[in-house]
């Protein structure tokens, strides 16, 4: 059976300044820019293979983390949201995103100060949204988003966060009731109703996989998670994400899908 969740995606080419992106893992070293570009090419090709028309925004040198376009917006079926990133160095990344979103969405909502919210903290499960209260997303930002959701007939609920960058760093929804959870989220009551795949500690990075229509995109080098997804009958595409991992970026971070 064909599953159509999304038809379009927006990505932004990595800038050379990517090598100075924010990271909690400096021990992994700086990204290799040429390799990051090749990995980005493969990422776009994978989204196209999943059936998406991909709009590619140009690299933006002033903003090292700007290829992580997921954090500056949230796209729902009824409206788009321009966020207000909690990382000071990323605040300027929202400039221009409204104009891009306006090509696809009639209604665009915003997070206003003092609220902060980054898209990496938002997990969509059908008409329900989970919002991680992280160092990047505060209670005010989450409350504003939940109010927007309610106005559009959706539900939103906050999730208390372990010390993890974003909610989707540690858990991601694979559709069909299946949820990937790393150890930090394993005991969360709010997720107990899902068919959970527990990501083993050595593969924590693979808690951020991306379901796009008939495929799940999985970071390469995570055989247990790959096997667990395939055992659920899901078709997989593996992508090498080594250069983005160095600056805490995962598969979902690199695109907006709608």
Residue whose CB is less far from ligand CIR, 148 or 166: 166
Distance, CA of 207 to CA of 183 (rounded, Å): 9
Applying the rule CB under 6 A, the residues between 12 and 71 that interact with ligand CIR are: 21-23, 65, 68, 70-71
| Position of minimal CB gap to ligand CIR | 120
Coil vs helix vs strand at 102 = coil
Residue whose CB is less far from ligand CIR, 23 or 39: 23
Closest distance of CB 153 from ligand CIR, Å: 25
Residue whose CB is less far from ligand CIR, 22 or 214: 22
Distance, CA of 237 to CA of 229 (rounded, Å): 11
Give 118: exposed, middle or buried? Use CB within 10 Å, 0-12, 13-18, 19+: buried
Distance, CA of 249 to CA of 243 (rounded, Å): 9
User: Residues 19, 57, 59, 87: which binds ligand CIR (CB under 6 A)?
Assistant: 87
Looking up tokens 């055989």, which residue turns up?
223
Residue whose CB is less far from ligand CIR, 40 or 166: 166
Could you list the active site residues? 166, 253
Applying the rule CB under 6 A, the residues between 137 and 196 that interact with ligand CIR are: 165-166, 169
215-219/235-239 β-pairing: parallel
Looking up tokens 């994978």, which residue turns up?
46
243 binds ligand CIR (CB under 6 A): no
Nearest 5°: the CA angle 133, 137, 142 is 75
Query: What are the residues binding ligand CIR (CB under 6 A)?
Result: 21-23, 65, 68, 70-71, 87, 90, 120, 165-166, 169, 247-250, 252-253
């Amino acid at each position: 059976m064909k599953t159509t969740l999304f038809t379009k995606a927006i990505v932004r080419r990595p800038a050379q300044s990517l090598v100075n992106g924010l990271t909690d893992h400096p021990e992994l070293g700086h990204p290799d820019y040429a390799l990051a570009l090749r990995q980005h090419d493969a990422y776009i090709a994978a989204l196209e293979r999943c059936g998406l028309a991909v709009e590619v925004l140009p690299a933006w040198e002033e903003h090292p983390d700007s290829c992580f376009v997921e954090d500056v917006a949230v796209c729902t079926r009824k409206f788009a949201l321009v966020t207000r990133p909690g990382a000071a160095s990323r605040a300027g990344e929202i400039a221009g995103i409204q104009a891009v979103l306006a090509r696809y969405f009639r209604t665009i909502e915003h997070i206003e100060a003092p609220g902060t919210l980054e898209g990496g903290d938002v997990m969509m499960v059908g008409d329900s949204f989970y919002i991680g209260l992280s160092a990047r997303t505060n209670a005010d930002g989450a409350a504003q988003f939940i109010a927007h959701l309610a106005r559009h007939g959706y539900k939103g609920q906050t999730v208390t966060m372990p010390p993890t960058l974003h909610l989707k760093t540690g858990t991601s929804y694979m559709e069909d009731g299946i949820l990937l959870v790393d150890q930090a989220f394993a005991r969360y009551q709010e997720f107990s109703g899902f068919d959970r795949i527990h990501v083993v500690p050595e593969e924590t990075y693979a808690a951020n996989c991306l379901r796009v229509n008939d495929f799940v995109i999985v970071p390469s080098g995570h055989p247990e998670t790959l096997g667990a997804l395939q055992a659920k009958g899901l078709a997989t595409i593996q992508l090498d994400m080594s250069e983005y991992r160095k600056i805490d970026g995962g598969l979902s971070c690199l695109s907006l899908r709608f």
